[in-house]
A and B are shown apart, each in its own frame.
Chain A
Amino acid sequence: MKKDTNSVDDFFRKSLQDLRITPSEAARGRFLDEAAPAATGIWQSIFRWQNMLAAAVILSASVVLYFGFFNNEVAPAPTATETKTPALSSDNSAPEINASTPDKTETQSNSEVPQSITQSKPAFKFSKESETKVNSTNKEEHISKQIETFSNPVFKSTVVANEEIALQEKKVVLSVISSTAAGVNETDYTDGKHHLTAVEAQTDSIFNLKDTTELEEDLTDIPDHSDQGKPLPLLPKSPPAFGFTPFLHYSLDWNPKNDGNTLVHSLGLEGKIIYGRFSLTSGLGVTSSIAYSNYEVGYNDYLGSYQKLDSITFAYDQKRYNLVPTYYMSESKVWDSVLKLDTYQEEMKYNHLRIPVMAGFDIIQRGKFVVGLKIGVEMLFYLKSNTVAEYEYNSGQNKLVGINQLPDAYARNNFWFMANISAAYNLNKRIVFEIEPHIKYLLNPDKTSASPAQQEVIPALRSSIKLKF
Chain B
Amino acid sequence: MLSEKALIHEVKKRNRKALEELHNRYAPVLMGLSLRYCANRLDAEDVLHDAFIKILSGINSFDERPNSSFEGWLKRITVNTALNFIRSKTKTNLLVSVNPMVEDLQEEQTADDSFLKMGEFLTKDIILQMICELPDGYRTVFNMFVFEEFSHKEIASELNCTENTSKSQLFKARSILKRKILEKVDKQMIESEF
Question: Residues of A at under 8 Å CB distance from B?
Answer: 1-2, 4, 6-9, 11-13, 15-16, 19-24, 26-28, 30-32, 34-36, 38-40, 303, 336-338
Q: Does B124 contact A (CB under 8 A)?
A: yes
Q: Does B161 contact A (CB under 8 A)?
A: no
Q: In the complex, which of the residues B33, B48, B88, B181 contacts A27, with contact meaning CB atoms closer than 8 Å? A: B48
B41: nearest chain-A partner, CB-CB: A24
B33: nearest chain-A partner, CB-CB: A19
Query: Contact: A28 with B147, CB < 8 Å?
Result: no
B30: nearest chain-A partner, CB-CB: A23
Query: Contact: B124 with A15, CB < 8 Å?
Result: yes
A22: nearest chain-B partner, CB-CB: B28
Besides A11-B120, A23-B27, A32-B20, 13 new A-B residue pairs in contact (Cβ under 8 A), listed by A number: A1-B151, A2-B145, A9-B174, A11-B116, A15-B127, A16-B131, A23-B28, A23-B44, A23-B48, A28-B27, A31-B53, A32-B23, A40-B16
Query: Contact: B174 with A6, CB < 8 Å?
Result: yes
Query: Contact: A8 with B147, CB < 8 Å?
Result: no
Distance in angstroms from B54 CB to nearest chain A CB is: 11
Query: Contact: A35 with B149, CB < 8 Å?
Result: no
A3: nearest chain-B partner, CB-CB: B151
Q: In the complex, which of the residues B31, B35, B122 contacts A15, with contact meaning CB atoms closer than 8 Å? A: B122
| Chain A residues, CB < 8 A from B145 | 2, 9
| Chain A residues, CB < 8 A from B16 | 32, 36, 39-40
Q: Could you count the A-B residue pairs with CB atoms below 8 Å apart for me: how many are there?
A: 105
Query: Contact: B177 with A336, CB < 8 Å?
Result: no
11 A-B contact pairs sorted by A residue (CB < 8 Å): A2-B149, A4-B109, A15-B127, A16-B32, A22-B28, A24-B41, A27-B45, A27-B49, A32-B23, A35-B56, A40-B16
Query: Contact: A31 with B23, CB < 8 Å?
Result: yes
Bound-complex Cα distance A303 to B56 (A): 25
0 or 1 for each of B163-194: is its CB under 8 Å from A? (1 = yes): 00000000000100110010000000000000
Q: In the complex, which of the residues A11, A13, A19, A35 contacts B53, with contact meaning CB atoms closer than 8 Å? A: A35
Query: Contact: B49 with A2, CB < 8 Å?
Result: no
| Chain B residues, CB < 8 A from A36 | 14, 16, 19
B153: nearest chain-A partner, CB-CB: A2
Q: In the complex, which of the residues A6, A30, A336 contacts B108, with contact meaning CB atoms closer than 8 Å? A: A6
A2: nearest chain-B partner, CB-CB: B151
| Chain A residues, CB < 8 A from B23 | 28, 31-32
0 or 1 for each of B75-109: is its CB under 8 Å from A? (1 = yes): 00000000000001100000000000000000011
Query: Contact: A12 with B146, CB < 8 Å?
Result: yes
B152: nearest chain-A partner, CB-CB: A2
Q: Does B128 contact A (CB under 8 A)?
A: yes
Instruction: Say whether, besides A31-B49, A32-B19, A12 and B127 are in contact (CB < 8 Å).
Output: yes
Query: Contact: A8 with B124, CB < 8 Å?
Result: no
0 or 1 for each of B43-58: is its CB under 8 Å from A? (1 = yes): 0110011001100100
